[in-house]
Each structure stands twice: as C-alpha cells, then as structure tokens.
C-alpha cells in the first residue's frame, strides 16, 4: 500500500476520533507517522502538531455554531498552556528517540485508562469556573502538547468536565479550541524541525483528518459517547503496548 493511501486512511480515522470525542485522535497520529509512514519520532511529533492544528482549527467553527464552545473558559485554559507548550517543543527536539517513544506510549496508556474509567455524572448546569484550577490544568496540558506533539484532547475533555464543570458537548467543542492554540504555540518553536518533513504525506493526511472530523461530529450525535470512548481506549492500549515492545520494554 502506498504512503499516500496510508496517509489518507490514517488521517481519516484520526479526524473521526477528534470530531466525535473532542480529542484522542492525535495520540494515534504519532505512531501512524512513525510505524506506517517511516517518520522519526521528532519529525512525527512535529508533523502531528501540524495535522492536529489544521484539523481542530477547521472543526471549531461548526461546534461554535452549535453553541458548544465556551470561548472565555477555553481561551483562559489555552493561554495557561502556551508557555509550557513552547518550552516542551524545545525540549522534545533534544530528547533521544527512545525516550520520546516510551513517554508517548505511557501517555497513551494513561489516556486509555481515563477513557475506560466510569465518568461520574455531571450536573446539567455548568459550575462556576475557578481561574486557578483552569490555569494549572491548562499549563499541564500545554506541556504534554509541546513535548509529545499531541493535541491533548484526551486530557482536556476530562479536565474541562471534571475540573471546570462543563457539560460534555461543551467540553468537546471547547477542547478543540484549546488544542488549536496549544498546537500552534508548540509549532512556533519547532520551525527549524519542519525542513525535513514530507509534505506530500502530511498534506493528504491533514486533508483526510479534516474530512474525518466533520463526519466524527455527526457520529457523536448518533452513537453513545461511552461506546466510542471504550472502543478507542482499547485501540490506544494496543498501540501503547506495541510501542513499548518496539523499544525493548
């Protein structure tokens, strides 16, 4: 199978996850770029940020039109992560490939565990946002985005629901805004790492992800969120295990 076909298939699947779950798809972008398309770990994390930034930026307007983006909360959350995301981007370029791979696999496993854990019921009215908690959670998310090249929606959605009290649909839409800001911030200090990227692969990958995200939004309205999360979590666990095996752990 050609790299172009693989890029389109992988991009579509990742966009579907981003659109339906508000995050998580980018966790598969990095391993897909490494194991299916031959990118190095550093190049894969940079390419993943490009793909995720484009995909989420194009998905935000549709969620906003439906009233599911909390701009003030999302921008506060994202602003706290800009600095850590930029510093994380610098750090990633200096880490050995094996360290990046192990760190990524562990984060994927944690994300899967969070998705499989039963979520407590959330009240139908949003709680007041505590700025301190938003800043702390946003900074942690930004750091993960910068180092590992993931949007962090798998962490943003639980934080927006559990820490900031947003309802699930608002958390999904708002997480896309947060992911966009964090991804662009992380890319700002990775400009020099993009020279060796294969844009003939990244372009179709990103295009398919954008289309997948639109379909994912429709899937989210028809399929129970719990079923989507459990299925995706099992895929993440398998990917994490394979990555750890690959580095000899």
pLDDT in tens, 79-113: 888 888 888 877 877 888 888 888 888 887 887 78
CA-CA distance, 33 to 185, in Å (whole number)? 21
Amino acid 21: pLDDT:
67
Amino acid 119: pLDDT:
58
CA-CA distance, 48 to 182, in Å (whole number)? 12
Half-sphere exposure of 192 (CA within 13 A, CB side): 6
Amino acid 130: pLDDT:
65
pLDDT less than 50: residues of the chain: 122-124
Say if CB 63 and CB 70 are below 8 A apart.
Answer: no
CA-CA distance, 120 to 207, in Å (whole number)? 36
Amino acid 151: pLDDT:
63
CA-CA distance, 8 to 6, in Å (whole number)? 5
């Amino acid at each position: 199978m050609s790299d172009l076909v693989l890029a389109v298939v992988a991009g579509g699947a990742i966009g579907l996850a981003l659109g339906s779950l508000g995050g998580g798809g980018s966790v598969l972008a990095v391993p897909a770029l490494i194991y299916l398309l031959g990118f190095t770990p550093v190049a894969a994390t940079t390419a993943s940020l490009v793909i995720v930034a484009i995909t989420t930026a194009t998905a935000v307007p549709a969620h906003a039109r439906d009233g599911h983006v909390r701009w003030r909360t999302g921008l506060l959350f994202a602003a706290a992560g800009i600095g850590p995301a930029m510093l994380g981007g610098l750090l990633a370029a200096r880490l050995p490939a094996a360290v990046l791979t192990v760190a990524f696999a562990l984060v994927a496993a944690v994300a899967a565990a969070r998705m499989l854990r039963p979520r407590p019921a959330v009240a139908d009215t949003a709680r007041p946002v505590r700025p301190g908690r938003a800043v702390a959670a946003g900074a942690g998310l930004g750091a993960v985005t910068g180092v590992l090249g993931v949007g962090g929606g798998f962490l943003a959605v639980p934080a927006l629901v559990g820490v900031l009290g947003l309802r699930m649909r608002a958390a999904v839409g708002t997480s896309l805004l947060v992911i966009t800001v964090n991804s662009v911030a992380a890319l700002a200090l990775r400009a020099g790492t993009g020279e060796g990227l294969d844009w003939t692969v990244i372009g179709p990958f990103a295009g398919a992800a954008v289309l997948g995200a639109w379909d994912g939004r429709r899937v989210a309205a028809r399929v129970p969120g719990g079923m989507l999360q459990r299925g995706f979590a099992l895929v993440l666990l398998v990917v994490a295990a394979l990555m750890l095996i690959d580095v000899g752990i």
